[in-house]
Structures are given as C-alpha cells and as structure tokens.
Amino acid sequence: MSDNLVLEAKSVSKFFGTITALQNVDLHLNKGEVLGVVGDNGAGKSTLMKVLSGLYKPSEGSLFFDKEKVTLNSPRDSQNLGLEMVYQDLALAGNLPIGDNIFLGREPTRKVGPFNFLDHKKRKQLTEEHLAKLKINVKSADQKVEELSGGQRQAVAIARATAFNAKIVLMDEPTAALAVKEVGKVLDLILNLKKLGVSVIVISHRMDDIFTVCDRVMALFQGTNFAQSELKNTSRDEVIGWIMGKKD
C-alpha cells in the first residue's frame, strides 16, 4: 500500500436482513488519486459509497481514514474527516443562489454585539474565490441554481462538496444526466480536483468517463470484489467483461 493512503475499507460487508449487499469488500484510495468504481445494477456500488460516507454502518469490516480506524455514525462524521458525497440527484435548492447552495447550513457570519448575522458579502466573496479556484464559469455567484445548465448544476454540487477543505469526494454517476457538450466540463473539473490534491471516487457506467479521468478502476460483482487494475494496464473491453462477471 502507498504511503499516501487516505481511505481504506477492509473486509466490509453490509446485510439488510437476509439480503447480502456487500461481502468482504476491500477498497483503498491514495491522495490525489481518481478511482473508478464500476459494476452492474445491484453490484453494491452505491451501498459501498453509502458505507464510506457514513450513511450506512457496515455490518462487518473496518474503515480507515489517514490510516486510523474510524467509526462513522452519520454523514456528518465523514464530513468532519474531510469526505464529501455528491449524490446523483445533487440535492440542490433551485430557488436559491449558487452561494447559498454552496454554504447552506455552514454560512459565514459576523458578530454584532451579542448577535451573529449572516455575512452575505463574505459569502459572495468566498463563493467567487472558490468557483475561480475550481475554474467553474457562471454569470454570477448570485445566479439562481434553477437558471443553470445540467453541467453547471453538477459543478455547483461539486463546489459545495469541496468548499470546506474536503480531502475525498465521492461522486455517483456525475455525468449521467448531462448533454454531451457538458460532460467534458465536468470531467475537466474532476481532473482539476486531482491537481489540487483531492482524492476522488467516481461511480460510472460510462467507460469514456472512467478512461478519461481515472487512474485505477475496481469492479464489483454481486457485492464482492471482482477485479481491479491501473487504467494503463487494462482496456474498455476487459472492464466491460468484469462488469458482466467475466475474466479472461
């Protein structure tokens, strides 16, 4: 294992009554690495991400952040460790401006006497600085999310996930609902996160996405580890075979 290891799952299993969603799954992620997680529907991809993000507690197995064993009781616990999840439905408030969405629940405040007030000027400044850092282009930080394109909304969701010094970002099908011309912008954003030293896990059915941004790919099949490889040592056809449970 690398000295740059930031996240590790060891022998993680998840049971829902008599249903086994995950069985002895291992995963590791290094600093600044983009890992693709692939598998057919029901392979356990989303369940694994929910375990890593604290939404589900593993039935068996252990999680390690920065090589220290941790217990996650909620998504807040994973956020406090620097892990953020970007869900497929994005969970953005369309009627609110970009800045409000990025800082929702964690707004900057200013103190006036014994009272704390929202600091709208500071929020706009921080929003503009963060968007510029991630090279996200929008008309204004005050623009409402409902006015944005699908790709821009995905970018805002990623900006929200990384606004508080996230070390790891998990993305569930980040380009699934996007027009072709917008897919490249989101993939560029993922590569920019890598340049900034952020580790990323990408769940995707799109092989083009996996082979454009990922350093390594791992395949789940029926809730178990099936295969993994650095991208340079595999091919689209081989990875598609893994998804179907086939090895040469």
Query: What confidence score (pLDDT) does residue 195 get?
Result: 92
Token digits of residue 192: 């920019």
State pTM to two decimals: 0.88
Query: What confidence score (pLDDT) does residue 129 get?
Result: 86
- 102-131: per-residue pLDDT in tens? 887 677 677 777 777 777 788 888 888 888
Give the pLDDT band of residue 2 (cuts 50, 70, 90).
low
Residue 51 located in a structural domain: yes
Residue 63 located in a structural domain: yes
Residue 64's domain spans which residues?
5-93+148-243
C-alpha to C-alpha distance for 141 and 134, rounded to whole angstroms: 14
- 24-76: per-residue pLDDT in tens? 999 999 999 999 999 999 999 999 999 999 999 999 999 999 999 999 999 99
Domain count, the chain: 1
Residue 52 located in a structural domain: yes
Residue 118 located in a structural domain: no
- 4-25: per-residue pLDDT in tens? 899 999 999 999 999 999 999 9
Query: What confidence score (pLDDT) does residue 108 get?
Result: 67
Residue 229 located in a structural domain: yes
- 178-193: per-residue pLDDT in tens? 888 889 888 999 999 9
- 70-107: per-residue pLDDT in tens? 999 999 999 999 999 887 766 788 888 898 888 876 77
C-alpha to C-alpha distance for 40 and 92, rounded to whole angstroms: 27
Whether residue 231 is predicted with pLDDT greater than 90 in this model: the reply is yes
Query: What confidence score (pLDDT) does residue 225 get?
Result: 96
Of 208-212, 230-234, 243-247, the one with minimum mean pLDDT is 243-247
Nearest to 36 by CA among 186, 239, 182, 238: 239
How far are the Cα atoms of 66, 175, 217, 243 from residue 207, in angstroms, in the given order?
Answer: 29, 11, 10, 11
Q: Which residues pair with 110 in a beta bridge?
A: 117
Residue 16 located in a structural domain: yes
The DSSP bridge pattern shows strands 216-221 and 34-38 to be parallel
Residue 168 located in a structural domain: yes
Query: What confidence score (pLDDT) does residue 18 get?
Result: 94
SS3 content of the chain, % helix, strand, coil (to 5): 35, 30, 35
Domain containing 89 — which CATH number?
3.40.50.300
Query: What confidence score (pLDDT) does residue 118 get?
Result: 74
C-alpha to C-alpha distance for 200 and 193, rounded to whole angstroms: 8
Residue 23 located in a structural domain: yes
Whether residue 1 is predicted with pLDDT greater than 60 in this model: the reply is no
